[in-house]
Amino acid sequence: MNISITEIGVFCLTAAFVLSAVQAGVVAAGQVKTMRGIERYAEGISLAAAIAIAASFIILIVAFIRSDFSVVNVYEHSHTDKPLLYKISGAWGSHEGSMLLWCTILLVYGALITLLGQGLPASLRHKALGVQGLLGAAFTGFTLFSSNPLGRLDPAPVQGLSLNPALQDPALAFHPPMLYLGYVGFSVVFSFAVAALIEGRLDRAWARWVRPWVLVAWSFLTVGITLGAFWAYYELGWGGWWAWDPVENASFMPWLAATAMLHSAIVMEKRDALKAWTVFLAILAFTFSMMGAFLVRSGLLTSVHAFAVDPQRGILLVSILFVTAGSGFALYGLRVPNLAPGGLFAPVSREASLVLNNLLLSAALTSVFLGTLYPLLMQAVFDRAMSVGAPYYLLVFGPIMVAGLAVAPISALMSWKRSDLKGVLQRLAIAFAVAALCAALGLLLYKGADFMAEAGYFVGLLTGFWLVFGSLRLVWERTRGGHPVRRFLGLPLATHGMLLAHIGLGVFVLGAVVESHAKLSLQEVMAVGDTAKLGAYELTFTGTYQAEGKNYDAQGGIFAITDASGHRVCEARPQRRFYPASNDVQSKVWLCFRPLSDLYVVMAQPQDKAGRAAWQIRFFYNPWVRLIFLGPVLMALGGVLSLCDRRLRVAVATRARALKPGPAAEEVA
Amino acid sequence: MKRLLLAFLLLAAPMAAYAGPAADEARAQKLFTEVRCVACQGQDIADSDAAIAGDMRREIRQAVAAGRSDADIRADLYRHYGDYVLFRPRFSGSNLLLWGVPPLIVIGGIAALLIMTRRRSETRAYALSEAEQKRLDDLTKNI
Amino acid sequence: MLLLATACALITAMLVGVVALWQRRAPGDGLQHAKALYAAFVSDVERREQSGEIDAELGHEERVEAARALLKAESEAAPSATARPRLAAGLIFGTAAVTFVVYLLFAGRPLIPDQPYKARLQAWTHAAQQNPDDVSPEVLAAVLRQGVVRNARDPVFWTFLARKDMLAGHAYLAAKEFERAESLAPAHFAEWSELGEALTFISGGKVGGDAKTAFDKALAMDPTDTRAHYYLGRMNLDAGRYDAARADFAAALAGLAPDDVRRTVVADQLKAVDIAEKAEAATKARIGGMVSGLAAQLKADPENADGWARLLRSYDVLGDTAARAKAEADMKAHYRDRPDIAQSILARAQGAVGAENTGGR
C-alpha cells in the first residue's frame, strides 16, 4: 500500500485555487439582492483555503526533506548531500517554489482578515475578502497551471541537481519568506483599499484598520530587504551591500510607498485629510510589491537575482500584475471624485509637515522608479542602450531624502492643527548643535577626494546625527520633571515605535554614509608569504588549509591581519568552496568583526604568480558597516512596537465586548 | 554632553587608524564607480576583476594623471563607449525626464501645497442632523 | 489510487467542516454586531479622551463618524441571512466536484507514487544484492556509499566505489576516492592511471600537472599502461609536441588487443596529430606574413601608436624575443622625445597580452 503524499499536496493546491475562486464568487453573488447573505461564507472559505494551501506548502517541504526526486522541483533544486536547512529553504529557492510561498502567505493573510477583522463592519470585511479571493485565485491558478511546484517526474532520477551554492546561506534561507511576508502584506492593504472604494466609505476608522497591516508588511519588508542586503554583502564577495540593481530597487519601491503611507495614514486618522492620497498609496504599494516579485521573472529586467523563467510564463505574470494594478487604479479614478472632501490644515502643523514628508518620499520614489525603468524604456522605444547607476541616485535620490529626513524630528515635535515653527526649532537647537558638532568631528577624521566628497560626507553625517539627537530631544522633553523612567515607559507604544524607527533610520544613515565614503579596498594577487597593506592594516598570507563540508570541499587561506602598531587584529580564514553536485565554486568571505566595522577578506580565482600558487585576494575595510544592518532592525522593531499600541487593537478589544455588552456600552445608551 | 562626545570619539577611533589614499587615486576611484563594466553583470569597474575593467581603470588613471577634469573624462568615455558605460547618465535632452521629474515634483508639490493651504474653504460639518440623531437614539436605546 | 481518492475526500470533508464550524460561531454579522462595534468604539474614544491622547473636538468627530457608520449599517442590514441549506449544499458539492475534476484533468498525476530517497536506497540495495549486474553504476555507487563509515579504512572498498563513480560520471568523487585508497595503502595502490583519468575529467579533458604525475607513476609501475600512454599523448598533442604525442599513441595502440574497440579512438588521435601539425604550420606562416606586413607599414609610417602596440603583442604571441626587442628599440627611437607615448604603448602591449592569456586558455 503506497499513498502519494505529494499528490495529496497537488490536490490541496487545487482545492486552494477553487476555494479562492469561490470566495470571490460568493462575495460577488452576495451583492445581488436575491442572494444577499451568501457573502458571509467568504469568511469560512478563507480559512479553509489557507489550511489547504498551507498543507500543500508543508508537503512540498516534506518532499524536499525526503529528497523525493519524483517531484521535478526537488530534482532540479536539491541533492541528498545538502544540509537540512538548505533542503528546506530549497523549497522556495526556485520560481515554482517561491510562487507557492507567495500564494501560501497570500491566503494566510486572507484568513487573518477573517480571524482578526471581526471588529470591522461586516460589509467592508466581506468585500475585502472578495478582493483577496480574486488575488488568491489569480496567483494560485497561475501556480497550479503553469508553475506547479509539485509537478512529477517518472521515472525519478537517481540524484538531484542541487541548489545554486550562492543560495546556500542562512541569510538567504530566510530572506524570501521575510520579503514575501512584506510584499504580500500589502495585498491586504490593497484589498481594504478596493473594498473601501467600492463601499464608498473612507474615514478615519478605515485608516485605523489598515494601519496595522501596513505596519506588519512594512516591518517584514524592512527585515527582508536588510537580509537581502546582508546576503549580498557577505556572500557575493564584492564588499558592497547595495548596488542600485533593478531587483534591489524593485524591493525598495514598495518600501518607500509603504513608508509614505504609514505617515499619511496618521494624518488621515487624526485630521480626516489626505484620504484619496492614502488610498492611492495603498494601491501603489501592492503594485510595486508585485513588480518587485514578478518583474524580475518576466525577463524584462536582467539581474543577478533573477530566476530564469521562460517568456510565456513571464508575460502571464506581468499580465496578472497589470490587470490587478490597472483595475485598482481604474476603480480609484472612478470613485475618488465622489469621496467626501477631506479636512483642511494650516501650513505650519504636524499634518502639514507629514504632507511634506509624503511629497519628498514620493519624489524619492519617483527617482528610483525612473532610474529603474528609464533604461528599459530607452531600449524599447529608441533602441538605445543606457545605464543608470549609483551616481544618479546619489545626486537625485540623495538630496531629496536628506530633505525628507531633516523634516522628521521637526515633524515629531509639532502639534496637530496649528503649530509654532519658531518654537519647535528653538527646542531643537541644542540637538542640531550636537549633531553638527559630531558631524564636524567626523569630518576632521576624514580626508575626501574633493570638496564635493567632503561636503557629502558632512551633510550625510549631519542628517544621521540629527535624526538620532532630534528624536532623543523628544524623549527628553517627554520624560523630564521627575520619574524619568516611569514617564518613559508610560509613553504610548506608538511614540516608542516612532522614536525607535527614526533613531534606527539615523543609525542606518550614519553607517551608510561612513561606509560609502571611508571604505578602503585592495585587490592583489598573493601567494603564501606575501603581505599587502591597506590603510593602517597589514594583511599577511600565512598559509592554506583544506576543509570538508557536508556537500563541499573547501580550500582555505589563512591571513594574519595587524594594525598600525603591529598588534594582531585577527586571523582571517576565507575559503573557496567546491560543490561537486553542481560543479560550482563559491568564494566564502571571511569577516573580522570590529565593534562597528568589518575587515573583509575574499579569496577569488587562483592564479600563477611567478611559478607559485597564488590567488586573487580582495581585502576591504568597511567602517561602521554594522550600523547599516543594525539600523533597519531597529526600524522594524519600532514597527512592531507601534503595532502593539492599544489604539490599533480596538478591533480585538471589541470582539470580546461584542459578544457580551459590558458597562461601557450601557454608558452610551 | 561630555559623555556623548567621549562615546563618539571612542566609536570613531577605528576611523582614525588609517590615512586616506592620495587625492588622484581617490578621484580615479570615484570615477571608477561611475563606469559600467561591459563584460560583467551590472557591476562598475571598481570592483570587477574582468580584463576589460582593468584596461578601463588604467585608461582612467592615466587621464587623471594627465590632469584632465572629471567632466572631460566622462565626455571621453561617452565618445568611446556610448551611453551604456555611464552609470551616471549625461545631462542631455533624452535624459530630461530622468533628471528633471523628481526635483520638479518637489518644487511643484510645495507650490501646490502653499496655494492649497492659502485657499480656505468651509470645513466639513461634524454634527449629526436632527433626523440622524433621532435614528441613532432609537438604535442605541437597547444596546 | 483508491487510497488517494479516500484521502482527498477526507480532506474535502475536513475543509467543509472548517467552513461550517466558522460560519456557526462567527459573531461578526448583522445589525447587532454593528451596534456592538459602535458601543465599543465609542467607549474607546472616551478612554482616549480621558487619557489625553485626543482632544474633545477629535473625539466628537470620531463619534459622529462611528454614528454615521452605524446608521449606514442599519439601512443596509441584510435580511438576517438565514441558513439556506440547499444553496449551501449546492455550493459545497459544486466546489468539491470542481476541485476533483481540475485535479484529475489538469493538475494531478495520481498514478505516480512517492519516491523518497531513503526507500529507494533500500530497494536499490536489495536489487544490488540480488543481481549487481542489472544495477546502473550510479545506483551502485549510491548503494555503496552507505558503507563509507563502516569501510572507512578499506582501500579495496574505496577503489571499487571510485570505479563505479567514474562510470556514473562523478569524476570528482572518483578522484577523491582513488586518492583515499592510495593514502590508506600507498604500497598496494595500482590505479594511478585511473586516478589520472579522473583528474583529467575534472579539469575538463585537459591533462594537468597532478594528472601527469599520476600517469608517470602508472608508467613507472607498468610501462605498457595503455590509459597512461593515451592521456599523455593527448597532453603532448595539446602542447604542440607532435613527435612525443605520436610515440605515446603508438605505445597505447601496441598495448591494445586487436579486437579492442578502443583502437579506433587511439587511431583517430594519431591522425589528429598530423592534422594539428599541418594547421599550426599554416597559422604560423600566416601570422608571420601579417606581422612582417605590419612591420613594413610601421617602417614607412612610424606615427602609429596602435600599430606598434599590436606589433609588440604579436611578437610576444609568436615567442620571437629577438624581433620583439628590435621592434621595441625602433619604437622607442621613434618616440624618443615623447616618452609618455612610448610608455603607454608598452603598457597596452603588456595588458592586452595578459588579458588574452587569462581569457583564452
Euclidean distance between the first and final Cα of chain A, in Å?
66
Which pLDDT value is given to residue A295?
74
Cα gap C13→A53, rounded to integer Å: 16
With cut-offs at 50, 70 and 90, classify the pLDDT of residue A343.
Answer: low
On the question of pLDDT at A302 being above 60, the answer is: no
With cut-offs at 50, 70 and 90, classify the pLDDT of residue A59.
Answer: very high
Contact C34, A245 (CB under 8 A): no
With cut-offs at 50, 70 and 90, classify the pLDDT of residue A264.
Answer: very high
Chain B contact partners (≥3 CB pairs within 8 A)? A, C
3-state DSSP of chain C = CHHHHHHHHHHHHHHHHHHHHHHHHCCCCHHHHHHHHHHHHHHHHHHHHHCCCCCHHHHHHHHHHHHHHHHHHHHHCCCCCCCCHHHHHHHHHHHHHHHHHHHHHHHCCCCCCCCCHHHHHHHHHHHHHHCHHHCCHHHHHHHHHCCCCCCCCCHHHHHHHHHHHHHHCCHHHHHHHHHHHHHHCHHHCCCHHHHHHHHHHHCCCCCCHHHHHHHHHHHHHCCCCHHHHHHHHHHHHHHCCHHHHHHHHHHHHHHCCCCCCHHHHHHHHHHHHHHHHHHHHHHHHHHHHHHHHHHHHHHHCCCCHHHHHHHHHHHHHHCCHHHHHHHHHHHHHHCCCCHHHHHHHHHHHHHHHHHHHHHCC
With cut-offs at 50, 70 and 90, classify the pLDDT of residue B22.
Answer: low
Cα gap C173→C150, rounded to integer Å: 18
Spell out which residues of chain B touch residue C71, defining contact as CB-CB under 8 Å.
Answer: 132, 135-136, 139
Distance of CA A237 to the CA centre of its chain: 22
Spell out which residues of chain A touch residue B87, defining contact as CB-CB under 8 Å.
Answer: 387-392
B34, B86, B97: residue with CB nearest A370: B97
Which pLDDT value is given to residue B18?
37
On the question of pLDDT at C83 being above 70, the answer is: no
Query: Do the Cβ atoms of C11 and A15 come within 8 Å?
Result: yes
Pick the closest to residue A584 from A544, A615, A553, A614 (CA basis). Answer: A553
3 state DSSP class of A408: helix
Which pLDDT value is given to residue A58?
97
Task: Identify which has the larger pLDDT, C64 or A572.
Answer: A572
Mean pLDDT for chain C overall: 85
Domain ranges of chain B: 19-88, 96-120
On the question of pLDDT at A253 being above 90, the answer is: yes
Cα gap A51→A54, rounded to integer Å: 5
Q: Does B137 touch chain C (CB under 8 A)?
A: no
Q: Does B58 touch chain A (CB under 8 A)?
A: no
Instruction: Encode C234-262: b = buried (16+ Cβ within 10 Å), e = exposed.
Output: bbbbeeeebebbbebbebbbebbeeeeee
Please give the single-letter amino acid code of residue C289.
G
pLDDT single digits (tens) C1-55: 788 999 999 999 999 999 989 888 765 567 788 888 888 888 888 888 888 778 8
Which pLDDT value is given to residue A581?
85
Cα gap C219→C78, rounded to integer Å: 94
Query: Do the Cβ atoms of B113 and A352 come within 8 Å?
Result: yes
* Average pLDDT over every residue of C158-182: 91
Which pLDDT value is given to residue A661?
39
State the ipTM, two decimals: 0.85
pLDDT single digits (tens) B39-98: 777 788 887 777 788 888 888 888 888 888 889 999 988 988 888 889 999 998 889 999
On the question of pLDDT at A654 being above 80, the answer is: no
* Average pLDDT over every residue of C259-272: 86
Of chain B residues 122-141, which have a CB less than 8 A from chain A?
A: 123-124, 140-141
On the question of pLDDT at C356 being above 60, the answer is: no
Which pLDDT value is given to residue A656?
42
The proportion of chain C whose per-residue pLDDT surpasses 70, expressed as a percent, equals: 93
* Average pLDDT over every residue of C126-152: 89
Cβ contacts of C285 within 8 Å, gap of 6 or more: none
* Average pLDDT over every residue of A583-609: 90
Cα gap C19→A555, rounded to integer Å: 57
Please give the single-letter amino acid code of residue A40.
R
Which pLDDT value is given to residue B17?
38
Query: Distance (Å) from the C-alpha of residue C361 to the closest C-alpha of chain A?
Result: 13
The topology (CATH level 3) of B19-88 is: Helicase, Ruva Protein; domain 3 (1.10.8)
Query: Distance (Å) from the C-alpha of residue B44 to the closest C-alpha of chain A?
Result: 9
Cα gap B29→A523, rounded to integer Å: 13
Which pLDDT value is given to residue A194?
97
Spell out which residues of chain A touch residue B8, defining contact as CB-CB under 8 Å.
Answer: 438, 441
pLDDT single digits (tens) C334-353: 888 888 888 888 877 775 44
pLDDT single digits (tens) A504-514: 999 999 999 99
Cα gap A51→A55, rounded to integer Å: 6
Contact C285, C318 (CB under 8 A): no
Q: Which range is most confident: A44-58, A117-131, A343-357?
A: A44-58
Task: Identify which has the larger pLDDT, A400 or A521.
Answer: A400
On the question of pLDDT at A662 being above 60, the answer is: no
Cβ contacts of C44 within 8 Å, gap of 6 or more: A650, A653, A654
Which pLDDT value is given to residue A255?
98
Nearest-Cα residue of chain B relative to residue A622: B15
Of chain B residues 83-122, which have a CB less than 8 A from chain A?
A: 83-89, 94-95, 97-99, 101-103, 105-106, 109-110, 113-114, 117, 120-121
With cut-offs at 50, 70 and 90, classify the pLDDT of residue A290.
Answer: very high
* Average pLDDT over every residue of C116-131: 92
With cut-offs at 50, 70 and 90, classify the pLDDT of residue A438.
Answer: very high
Task: Identify which has the larger pLDDT, B102 or A669.
Answer: B102
With cut-offs at 50, 70 and 90, classify the pLDDT of residue B121.
Answer: low
* Average pLDDT over every residue of C307-327: 82
pLDDT single digits (tens) A475-503: 999 888 888 899 898 888 999 999 999 99
Which pLDDT value is given to residue C282?
85
Least confident segment among A1-10, A391-400, B6-15:
B6-15
Separation in Å, CA A638 to CA A10, A187, A627, B64, C159? 40, 22, 16, 47, 60
Spell out which residues of chain C touch residue A40, defining contact as CB-CB under 8 Å.
Answer: 23, 26, 29, 81
Cα gap A212→C143, rounded to integer Å: 54
pLDDT single digits (tens) C298-315: 888 888 888 888 888 888
Least confident segment among A120-129, A565-574, C254-263:
C254-263
On the question of pLDDT at B101 being above 90, the answer is: yes
Which pLDDT value is given to residue B138?
80
3 state DSSP class of A537: strand
Task: Identify which has the larger pLDDT, C143 or B13.
Answer: C143
Task: Identify which has the larger pLDDT, A254 or A121.
Answer: A254
On the question of pLDDT at A47 being above 90, the answer is: yes
Task: Identify which has the larger pLDDT, B125 or A194.
Answer: A194
Cα gap C331→C299, rounded to integer Å: 10
Query: Do the Cβ atoms of A47 and C28 come within 8 Å?
Result: no
Least confident segment among A71-75, A95-99, C76-80, C340-344:
C76-80
With cut-offs at 50, 70 and 90, classify the pLDDT of residue C287.
Answer: confident
- Tell me which of A387, A615, A654 to substitute to probe the interface with B (most B C-beta atoms closer than 10 Å): A387
Spell out which residues of chain A touch residue C26, defining contact as CB-CB under 8 Å.
Answer: 40, 43-44, 118
Give A73's DSSP letter: H
* Average pLDDT over every residue of A104-120: 93
Task: Identify which has the larger pLDDT, A193 or C69.
Answer: A193
Mean pLDDT for chain A overall: 89
- Which residue matches cell numbers 494531478? C108
Least confident segment among A300-304, A522-526, C345-349:
A300-304
